[in-house]
């Protein structure tokens, strides 16, 4: 017997994980972490023209209420330690996006004595956005990729094999 | 005031502490004995027809071949609209100069930068700390013999060239 015709029209069936992930991915609050010129593009992305608000993304000024850290700009060694500290202050589950060439690999300044060539040496990165600096469209694309990643996560059943067995 | 006139005034006042006139008419450079830089600065600022009241920049150069570190002071007079570059040398092994913080307050951070990157000690500076590099950094990066450390707090400073992969 199919459930579809017996339930009222306002009822939707889904997996709990999917529902959880759908709510989480639709309210990714990102911490403002502009380190250089990429920070300007990040502000543009959050501004009215590109408008990250339509994905439920709201800029936050503190790591303690943020889900996502967008590292945008040249990371110096001095800042690298602070970056790690800020990342550790974010509550789980947390994500990090590396925006622009400098954050990806040190970019133009990777040979400089003061530059940490790649933010992935300090914190784990979920999405890399290339560009110098990336346009708001590029960053938006990266954040959509992150949403896809969040949607794929499994919380109730950690092992994919176990999920198959239950089903 | 013309560059040569400024040089003559300084020569008359400080005699051998003032070196040859270098640079051009538009960008005059005067070399000054390092130990007397603070005196010369005070004189340049206070004398009525000179009035160099603005230190626009202060930089250092590591002249490793001459075993010398030169500190350059770019000063400007808002009143008379003339400018001058003072050039003070100090030995490379233990470089130190008298501070000019008391003459131009702008020198405070600029001297800290020079100390940070070249290791010049400015004697009498009220707060001579690093300003750009981390507090626990070892060495002075703009020295010619500076060797970049392999890691900093466990962060490797080396990265394979992406072109080789």
What tens digit of pLDDT does each residue of A47-71 get?
A: 899 898 999 899 988 999 999 999 9
Q: Which residues of chain B have pLDDT under 50?
A: none
* Encoded tokens for A18: 């999917």
Neighbour tally for A119: CB within 10 Å: 33
User: What pLDDT was estimated at residue B150?
Assistant: 85
What is this model's ipTM? 0.75
Chain A with chain B: Cβ pairs closer than 8 A: 31
Q: Which of B134, B146, B162 minimises the CB distance to A105?
A: B162
Residue of B nearest to A123 (CA): B155
The pTM for the full model equals 0.80
Paired residues of A74 in beta bridges = none
Q: A148 CB contacts (<8 Å, ≥6 apart)?
A: none
Residue A4: predicted pLDDT: 64
Q: How far apart are CA B27 and CA A10, in angstroms?
A: 81
Statement: residue A167 has pLDDT above 60: no
Give the model's pLDDT for residue B15.
Answer: 82
Average pLDDT, chain A: 86
Q: What is the mean pLDDT of residues A26-42?
A: 90
Closest CB to A106 among B133, B146, B159:
B159
As a whole number of angstroms, the longest Cα–Cα distance in chain A is: 69
Question: What average pLDDT score do residues A23-36 get?
Answer: 90
Give the best residue of B152, B156, B162, B165 to mutate against chain A (max A CB count within 10 A): B152
Which residues in chain A are closer than 8 Å to B157, comparing Cβ atoms?
77, 116-117
B62 or A14: which carries more pLDDT confidence? B62
What pLDDT was estimated at residue B104?
Answer: 92
pLDDT of residue A159: 63
Decide if B159 touches A, using CB distance below 8 A: yes
Interface check A102 vs B, CB under 8 A: no
Residue A164 pLDDT class (50, 70, 90 cuts): low
């Amino acid at each position: 017997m199919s459930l579809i015709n017996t339930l009222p029209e306002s009822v939707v069936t889904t997996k709990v994980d999917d529902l959880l992930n759908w709510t989480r991915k639709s309210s990714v609050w990102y911490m403002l972490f502009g380190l250089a010129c990429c920070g300007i593009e990040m502000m543009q992305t959050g501004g009215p023209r590109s408008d990250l608000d339509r994905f439920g993304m709201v800029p936050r000024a503190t790591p303690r209420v943020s889900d996502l850290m967008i590292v945008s700009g040249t990371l110096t060694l001095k800042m690298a330690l602070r970056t790690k500290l800020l990342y550790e202050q974010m509550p789980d589950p947390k994500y990090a996006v590396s925006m622009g060439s400098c954050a990806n690999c040190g970019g133009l300044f990777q040979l400089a004595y003061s530059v940490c060539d790649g933010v992935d040496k300090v914190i784990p990165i979920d999405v890399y956005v290339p560009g110098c600096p990336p346009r708001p469209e590029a960053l938006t694309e990266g954040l959509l990729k992150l949403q896809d990643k969040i949607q794929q996560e499994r919380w109730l059943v950690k092992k994919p094999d176990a999920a198959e067995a239950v089903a | 005031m013309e560059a040569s006139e400024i040089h003559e005034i300084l020569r008359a006042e400080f005699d051998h502490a003032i070196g040859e006139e270098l640079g051009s008419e538009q960008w005059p450079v005067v070399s000054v004995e390092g130990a007397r830089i603070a005196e010369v600065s005070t004189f340049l600022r206070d004398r009525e027809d000179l009035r160099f009241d603005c230190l626009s920049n202060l930089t250092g150069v590591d002249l490793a071949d001459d075993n010398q570190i030169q500190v350059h002071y770019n000063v400007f007079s808002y009143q008379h609209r003339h400018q001058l570059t003072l050039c003070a040398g100090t030995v490379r092994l233990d470089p130190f100069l008298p501070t000019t913080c008391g003459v131009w307050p702008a020198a405070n951070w600029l001297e800290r930068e020079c100390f940070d990157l070249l290791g010049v000690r400015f004697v009498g500076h009220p707060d001579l700390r690093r300003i750009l590099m981390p507090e626990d950094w070892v060495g002075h990066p703009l020295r010619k013999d500076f060797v970049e450390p392999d890691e900093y707090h466990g962060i490797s400073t080396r990265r394979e060239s992406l072109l080789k992969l």
